[in-house]
Amino acid sequence: MAKRNLVAITGLGVVSPLGFGAKNFFSALMNGQSGIRRIDAPFVDELSSKIAAQVDFNSEAYFSRMQLNQLDRVSQFALVAAREAWADAGLDKNAPSSERTGVYLGCGLGGAASIESGYRDLFEKKLARVSPYSVILTMTNAPASHISIEFGLQGPNQTFSTACSSSGMAIGEAMRAISHGYADCMVAGGAEALLSYGTIRAWESLRTLAREDTDNPSASCRPFSRDRNGLVLGEGAAILVLEELERAKSRHAPIYAILRGFGSAADASHLTKPNSQGQARAMRLALDDAGLAPDRIGYINAHGTATVVGDETETHAIKEVFGSRAYGIPVSATKSMHGHLMGATAALEFVATVMALKTLQIPPTMFLRQPDPLCDLDYVVNAGRDAPGLEVAMSNAFAFGGSNAVLVASRA
């Protein structure tokens, strides 16, 4: 195999239910804060599941009225996170070649709010026409295209839509583009804004959403806890700037971590029921890609959705890969605090993983109240911890449809 370029992570951008900015986001995780709350929408009383992880977002603070005509909420999130990541990487005055810089983004649904608005205009209000911007507002690749246009990035521009693993796929393939010499710099991550009436009702029908904890709504998502009862939908965006390592070093860029491995594998068994063998295969492929033995992993950010079957399956998959050592690896499910961002969730959790490596701190799995004998690993229960020896970490993303993406990173 030809020698590969190493890939540095030089910029991070976050728009999340726990706030804006990677450092603020990670601080909230370490403090066990939850962004899950009662949905702030006029249709909330029509829902069975009245909780979500919403972003407090004033679009007019970031965009003109003219711009907003062409920007669904999902693209707004993506642009704000990308701006932060670009500036964080110190690229405002030191931009790389535009033809060697691209955008790979994950997005599951596209412009959900705009889709519903158009349907209401057409089918309920019986308007003669819908907005002339309907197509560009709703298309799934709009967020990536807006980022490319804003920064003048003329390299590869692709959107990955593999449900919950979308942004993990985007980051992994962006790493490959740099590793194999197709690009020098990539803006990669994900965005999602699906907290619309129709989308939530569809998820309710699937019977995977958590019931509200009546005593503490913010504790409604409880991964790996025996009393868990489903996932909580969230929204937001997470964007990373990836660069060829020697280029990043030559411009004295801040380096958060090194992205070393990516594994992608399909369950090929069921659309909604996860398969531990497919998940384990993705983890092994990521380790092989990184050239690392399983005993090098010091932390795993789990997919951990808080569904009964999902958490059991992931626990079993981790044991398949790591054997008896699985019990000594800290594992945390940060969805307990920021919810499930679908197409953006893998990127947000990878930001948490990168920050864990940078700060030598591991975020907790919150609200794990009842031990489950089938989920018996070290889940960093209810309080973050220092990890002075942490060198290598793994981040899992396992999706409906059986599309699995796993990323491995190490300290810079």
User: Would you please indicate which residues are annotated as catalytic (active-site) residues?
Assistant: 164, 303, 340
3-state secondary structure at position 411: strand
* C-alpha closest to that of 267 among 130, 143, 133, 404: 404
For residue 402, what are the CA distances in angstroms to 187, 188, 236? 26, 22, 23
The distance of Cα 195 from the centroid of its chain, to the nearest Å, equals 16
State the chain's maximal CA–CA distance in angstroms.
65
3-state secondary structure at position 241: strand
Determine the Cα–Cα distance for residues 309 and 305; give it in Å rounded to an integer: 10
Determine the Cα–Cα distance for residues 227 and 207; give it in Å rounded to an integer: 16
* Phi and psi, residue 158, nearest 5°: -135, 150
Terminal alpha carbon distance of the chain: 24
Helix boundaries (H) for 139-188 = 142-151, 166-179
* C-alpha closest to that of 89 among 256, 259, 258: 256
Residue type for position 175:
M
In DSSP terms, which residues pair with 192 in a beta bridge? 236
